[in-house]
Chains A and B, each alone.
Chain A
């Protein structure tokens, strides 16, 4: 039996989809090749997608290759993640103007209804989980980030299921993919063999409305099964894993593990990992004035716990060594996050492994610590 609300569309209809969204004043953001990488940017048609391109990723390595076919989504996560749009790298929070003895503050709000209306095309399952994780961070606490909530509520999400495992990713072990399960308006799987089509699963009424504006038909069981088969194959061919259970005990009990010295000898504290990570949310604020001092802006910018002054308080940093900063980052990502937000903060996208200039692998670092934990408990790591 076909799952209800599964459609088949041809590649041209994907272009119709993009145009239909643009007519509804969405700015469509999707993957597009630029230079030597596939980045995220506004796209106006399918011709701007990375057609026929794939990536080869490994620790500290990223190469684009030509496949020689018309595949539109045969690549994995690039250096950009969707937080560029939902949680912009630079955002003006407010501006204040001097008036008399004091000053007047005006909150920075979007100038038009359409300014923040995004349709995100090509959201991988891992990135979809990352968005849901950031939903908890920015929208689930006592204090919420109004800018994030505003953009997020309007965002139209078209997920894309992976039919090919990436070189560094590990979504299946952390249970975030490769199949998108919830949180999308539409989810697509690309099938390219003797035919080229997309299976589209509808996730919301909003998604149903949009898909009804393009050429489509109900998907046949065989067509859906082909897509599912590819997704399963992708899940089975991932090259790494990270066991996400008991991360708190494992990391909290091993803050003095010798492995931290080993990784510290390699880590450059360059902050690449935090920049590419789709869930990292640390930010700083800068207050700047113009030369005359008549107006002052407060700007929020992405920050990284790897910088020396991240933890600075009167006279010194709490974490002066890069060892402490790496330990903090991985402990936050895998353990503290559970205490703070109920899940681990890692979605298995592999970006930090690819974009680390020295190729530090979070799954490997965690594995070593985990083995110590298991040995102390008398369980062999091989008995899993």
Chain B
């Protein structure tokens, strides 16, 4: 637990969260590991965790009948994976598959959700950080959408 707290508090996502909240968050954290090609979560399943990737790579994918598994984005070391746990209906919108052996810290979303309802301050702090990530992902996705490298006819 002590090592977990140190790792979490050094990550930019949890910067300046404060000692008390850090302890609280660490209480909801655990080490997890995914083998190559193992699914971290599946589309439609209940979203009860989020992950801080410490090693390895995860592909966010969608399956479509004509095109098979399509990778939309890959995340790696240091990235935060998953925000559907925080926003109703609390279910995953994509598949997440480990491309390589992946080690991560899983945070119990259900547990944190309850704590955020009890303490709105904590809720605000977490939402602030997640909005920042979502903003970054949105910007990157928009750039992807532009298909900048495509040839204009």
Identify which of residues 129-153 in chain B touch chain A, using a CB-to-CB cut-off of 8 Å: 151-153
Interface residues in chain B, defined as those with a beta carbon under 8 Å from any beta carbon in chain A: 151-153
**CB-CB < 8 A to A293: which residues of B?**
none
CA distance A314 to B153 in the complex (A): 8
How many Å from the CB of A96 to the closest CB on chain B? 30
**Mind listing 6 A-B residue pairs with CB under 8 Å?**
A314-B151, A314-B152, A315-B151, A315-B152, A315-B153, A316-B152
B-contact bits for A312-332, CB 8 A (1 contact / 0 none)? 001110000000000000000
Chain A residue at minimal CB-CB distance from B152? A315
Residues in A neighbouring B153, C-beta threshold 8 A: 315
The CA-CA distance from A316 to B151 in the complex, in Å, is 11
Q: Mark A193-217, 1 if CB is under 8 A from B, else 0.
A: 0000000000000000000000000
Question: Please, how many angstroms separate the alpha-carbon atoms of A315 and B151 in the complex?
Answer: 8
Q: How far is the CA of A288 from the CA of B151 in the complex (A)?
A: 27
- CB-CB under 8 A from B151, the residues of chain A are 314-315
Cβ of B102 to closest chain A Cβ, rounded Å: 40
Contacts of A315 on B, CB cut-off 8 Å?
151-153
Q: How far is the CB of A129 from chain B (nearest CB, A)?
A: 43
A314 and B151 alpha carbons, distance in the complex (Å): 8
**CB of A329, distance to nearest CB on chain B (Å):** 26
Chain A hits for B152, CB < 8 A: 314-316
Cβ distance A311 to chain B, nearest Cβ, rounded Å:
15
Whose C-beta in chain B lies nearest to the C-beta of A314? Answer: B152
B151–chain A nearest beta-carbon distance, Å: 7
C-alpha spacing A235/B84, complex, angstroms: 77
* Complex alpha-carbon distance, A19 and B151, angstroms: 62
- A35 CB → nearest B CB, Å: 46
Contacts of A314 in B (CB 8 A): 151-152
- The smallest beta-carbon distance between B85 and chain A, in angstroms, is 43
How far is A187 from B152 in the complex, measured between Cα atoms in Å?
56
* Binary CB contact string for chain A from 92 to 109 against chain B (1 if under 8 A, 0 otherwise): 000000000000000000
Q: Which residues of B contact A316 (CB under 8 A)?
A: 152
Q: Output the least CB separation between B97 and chain A (Å).
A: 36
Shortest beta-carbon distance from A314 to chain B in Å: 6
Chain A residue with Cβ nearest B153: A315
Q: B150's closest neighbor in chain A, by CB?
A: A315
Whole-angstrom distance between the Cβ of B49 and the nearest chain A Cβ: 45
Interface residues of A in 304-354 (CB under 8 A from B): 314-316
- Looking at the assembled complex, report how far the CB atom of B152 sits from the nearest CB atom of chain A, in whole angstroms: 3
Instruction: Report the separation of the CA atoms of residues A133 and B153 in the bound assembly, to the nearest whole angstrom.
Output: 40
In the assembled complex, the CB of A313 is this many whole angstroms from the nearest CB of chain B, namely 10
CA distance A315 to B153 in the complex (A): 6
A316 to B152, CA, bound (A): 8
A311 and B152 CA atoms in complex are apart in Å by 16
Whole-angstrom CA separation of A314 from B152 in the bound complex: 7
How far is B151's CA from A13's CA once the two chains are assembled, in angstroms? 67
Cα A314 to Cα B148 in complex, Å, equals 12
Q: Nearest Cβ in chain B — how far from A65, in angstroms?
A: 54
In the complex, A289 Cα to B153 Cα: how many Å? 27
**Chain B, residue nearest A316 (CB):** B152
How many Å lie between the Cα of A119 and that of B153 in the bound state? Answer: 50
Which 6 residue pairs across A and B have the least CB separation, nearest first?
A: A315-B152, A314-B152, A316-B152, A315-B153, A315-B151, A314-B151
When chains A and B are docked, how far (Å) is the Cα of A281 from the Cα of B44? 65
- Report how far A315 CA is from B152 CA in the complex, Å: 5
Smallest beta-carbon distance A379→chain B, Å: 42
Distance, CA A99 to CA B151, complexed state (A): 36
Task: Give complex CA distance A336, B153 in Å.
Answer: 32
Residues of A222-249 at the interface with B, using a CB-CB cut-off of 8 Å, are: none
Tell me the minimal C-beta distance from A315 to chain B in angstroms. 3
B37 to chain A, nearest CB (A): 40
- Expressed in whole angstroms, the Cα–Cα distance for A222 and B79 within the complex equals 90
Cα A316 to Cα B153 in complex, Å, equals 9
Give A169 to B151 CA distance when docked, in angstroms: 48
Segment 138-177 of A: residues with Cβ below 8 Å from B: none
A125 to B144, CA, bound (A): 57
Query: CA of A315 to CA of B150 in the docked complex: distance in angstroms?
Result: 11
